[in-house]
Structure 1
Amino acid sequence: MFHSRRLASLAGGPAMLAVSLALALSACSGAPQRDKKTPQVGFSQVTLTDVPLEIELPGRTAPFRQGQVRPQVSGVLMRRLFTEGQLVHQGQPLYQIDPSVYRAAADQAAANLVSAQASAEAAKVKADRYKPLAQDQAVAQQDYTDAAAAARTSAASVAQYRAALASAKVNLRFTTVPAPITGRIGRSLYTEGALVTANQTDPLSVISTLDPIYVDIQQSSASLMKLRKEFADGGIKEVGKVKLILEDGSEYPIPGTLEFSEVTVDTTTGTVALRAKFANPDGTLLPGLFVRTRVSQGKQSKVVMVPQGALSRDPRGGATVMVLGTGNKAEIRKVTADRTIGDQWVVTDGLKPGDKLITQGLGKIRPGQVVIAVPDSTPQGIKAHDKSSPQKPSAK
């Protein structure tokens, strides 16, 4: 009994071992069949384009023009003739200084002029009367000489008093303080009853022209020198547009233009001052406002725009992409990409027109692998093969 069971066990062992080996080989043979399935990827044709060269720099708004309202004569302020914050026009009266002293001075100068004119007229008549008498030797020649000199002196006195009267009238006119420029006036630093002088330190008020308005920007001298070198090499075409980002993060709707860059470098900061001009019809921008600017300092020509998902970095930080090579094999390509615009990398070297850049399905391919390539705009995209769908994209 025991011997028969022993024989059955020995007879069944090899059979079971054979079945196990057959199942293992069958499982192993199925894996290579799945690996041999050709993956499908999406590609885009490489074309060259021009892109704006934008840099983001801090800036601060400054008035287009600024005029300080200052007294040109001394006196007590009697009235303020404007509303703070309103738009004023050049020549508009803003303050009234007590004019009584200056009006009296003008009246006195006018009276002195009249007196001088009367004396000059009498001296001239006397000189004219002596002239023929001196020729006839009816009076001494010296008397005529003295009369003629007195007439000229009187005429000079008339001119002096006339100038004194003009000066007195100017001072009287200066008792009304006008607006030096057209713009929006700020708060008044002096009130009625204050004593102001012609040589005081502080202005009475400040007027600013806000439409248009300037934005003063600081750029490092190193980046400016690099930019100018690229201009000289022809890789960049200058345009000079500026966009403005406000403190709340919103973009100012009106673009500005780059007016000029300073001719000297600030030795303390190593920066160069740039100035942009913006239209400000609604008065949104106020002087002294801190803003961020996107300065388009040129156009970079003959570059390739690559989606961010299609570009990767190697351990050393080098940029690489995958392209379709001979026989529809995926090839890795080193490129130069130093900056982004939106969701795309700007590639300046490594790709040429006509290259087929793999943009979809990168996660399931490796360099040297044969792939099925379809344009990335194809509706079916790069989905895995569906057994229910007999149609198969053709390789390109």
Structure 2
Amino acid sequence: MAPLRRTRLAVALLCSVFGAAALTGCGQEGEGSGQAQQQAQGPVEVGVYQVKTAPVTLTTELPGRTSAYLVSEVRPQVGGIIEKRLFDEGSEVKAGQVLYQIDPATYEAELESAKANLARAQANVESARLKAQRYKELVKINAVSKQDYDDADATLKQTAADVAAYQAAVKTAQINLNYTKVTSPIAGRIGKSTVTPGALVTANQTNSLVTVQQLDPMYVDVTQSSVDLLRLKRELASGKLNRASADDEAKVRLKLEDGSDYGVEGTLTFSDVSVDESTGAVTLRAVFPNPQQLLLPGMYVRAAIEEGVRPDGILVPQQGITRDTTGQAVAYVIADGKVAVRKVKTNRAIGNQWLIDSGLKDGDQLIIEGIQKVKPGAAVKGVEASPQQNTESEANAAQ
């Protein structure tokens, strides 16, 4: 029985060995057929974007506040009681329009008194002139002394000076009387009055009676980092960036507090000459037409300022730029029918595209669809990306 049992065990072991070998052979045959099938299918198709250079206008968006183009705080130049207020609060007023009437009685009396003094001085001049003429003839025949003639001549000159002084007094009195009509120095929208009829005001008082603001055009003051300002100047000096307009006036677009676009374009007119030590920023000022007076002083806005034009700019769809494990921006391109990896440097996002500083060149085929299906070195076939993708790319490049 023992020999028979050993024989059966040996046969079972041999069957197991041959069975495993058979299974291994089948697996290798299946794997070989899969590779052959993949080779038969050909290179993987991926969507590509044809990289091309074109002029790109660069803008920077900065926060800012609006302010009135002209502001006038109206104060009285003479004292007195306010008799009338001659405007509606919040209305438009013209330059020179009368806003308040101060009681003129005192100033009218001063003007009449100055005129009377002038008339008396003028009469004295006439009398002194005639006396001086007579003495001039008499002194020739020694009928009067030369001293008497000199006194008469001095009196004439003194009365003439009195006339000049009283003429100035009349003019001053007339000016003070005119100042009883408080007028607007500028045209614009008038605010809330701080006084009512019956109030006592004084000349050149600290508190203004009312404020008038010219709202068309409007100023927009924004702040820009001094670091960005230096970078912009270097790029313009090196030729990497060209000025957007020949007249050196950068165009500015505006977004309002609610996120809507202000439909009128403005121009950059002023850059401060010093940097704020607390913020490290420089103040820029733009001027915007405001015919509908949609902009009001103190509004928060965001201004998109044209930095310049990059003549050979490269814009590519954002989905064509990925990051490797180190965080480096990379792009997959087709080179000699295979996938190649390029390290790229991005400048900024413009819409749904990246502005490329380096790593890509005109004519490159950038893979933007099917990146997840390929690896570096794999054979691929590039086909034009979907029409929607190309349309968006071209639209952003035009902007």
Establish whether TM, by shorter chain, passes 0.5. yes
Amino acid at match of 2:297: P
Moved more, 12-21 or 158-167: 12-21
Whole-angstrom distance in 2 between the partners of 1:346 and 1:65: 40
**How big is the shift at 1:16?**
6.9
**How big is the shift at 1:268?**
2.3
1:29 counterpart = 2:38: no
What does 1:143-158 correspond to in 2, within 5 Å?
A: 143-158=148-163
Q: 1:178 aligns with which of 153, 175, 183?
A: 183
Helix, strand or coil at the partner of 2:292: coil
Amino acid at match of 2:120: S
What does 1:83-232 correspond to in 2, within 5 Å?
A: 83-232=88-237
What does 1:1-396 correspond to in 2, within 5 Å?
A: 20=23, 23-36=26-39, 37-239=42-244, 240-326=250-336, 328-376=337-385
Moved more, 111-120 or 294-303: 294-303
**How big is the shift at 1:323?**
1.2
Runs of 4+ in 1 over 3 A off after TM superposition: 8-27, 33-37
| Contact 1:184-1:208 at 8 Å conserved across structures | yes
**How big is the shift at 1:238?**
2.3
Moved more, 268-277 or 31-40: 31-40
Helix, strand or coil at the partner of 1:249: coil
Helix, strand or coil at the partner of 1:114: helix
Amino acid at match of 1:303: G
| Contact 1:68-1:180 at 8 Å conserved across structures | no
Deviations 1:101-129 (A, max 9, x none): 11110011011111111111111111111
Deviations 1:178-214 (A, max 9, x none): 1101111111111111111113111111111111100
Other-structure match for 2:4: none
Whole-angstrom distance in 2 between the partners of 1:270 and 1:292: 19
Whole-angstrom distance in 1 between the partners of 2:218 and 2:188: 11
- Summarize the Cα distance change of 1:126–1:16 in structure 2 as closer, same or farther, 3 Å threshold: same
User: Runs of 5+ in structure 2 lacking a partner?
Assistant: 1-7, 245-249, 391-399
Deviations 1:355-383 (A, max 9, x none): 2222222121111111111222579x9xx
**How big is the shift at 1:351?**
1.4
Helix, strand or coil at the partner of 2:261: coil
Helix, strand or coil at the partner of 1:224: helix
Amino acid at match of 2:32: S
Whole-angstrom distance in 2 between the partners of 1:121 and 1:34: 130
Other-structure match for 1:391: none
**How big is the shift at 1:313?**
1.3
**How big is the shift at 1:150?**
0.8
User: Runs of 5+ in structure 1 lacking a partner?
Assistant: 382-396
Deviations 1:296-338 (A, max 9, x none): 2222231211100000112222211111112x11111111103
Whole-angstrom distance in 1 between the partners of 2:325 and 2:44: 26
Other-structure match for 1:393: none
Whole-angstrom distance in 2 between the partners of 1:137 and 1:11: 174
Whole-angstrom distance in 2 between the partners of 1:229 and 1:21: 69
TM-score (norm 2): 0.88
- Summarize the Cα distance change of 1:14–1:191 in structure 2 as closer, same or farther, 3 Å threshold: same
Percent of matched pairs sharing the same residue: 45
Whole-angstrom distance in 2 between the partners of 1:227 and 1:188: 46
Moved more, 169-178 or 284-293: 284-293
Moved more, 41-50 or 103-112: 41-50
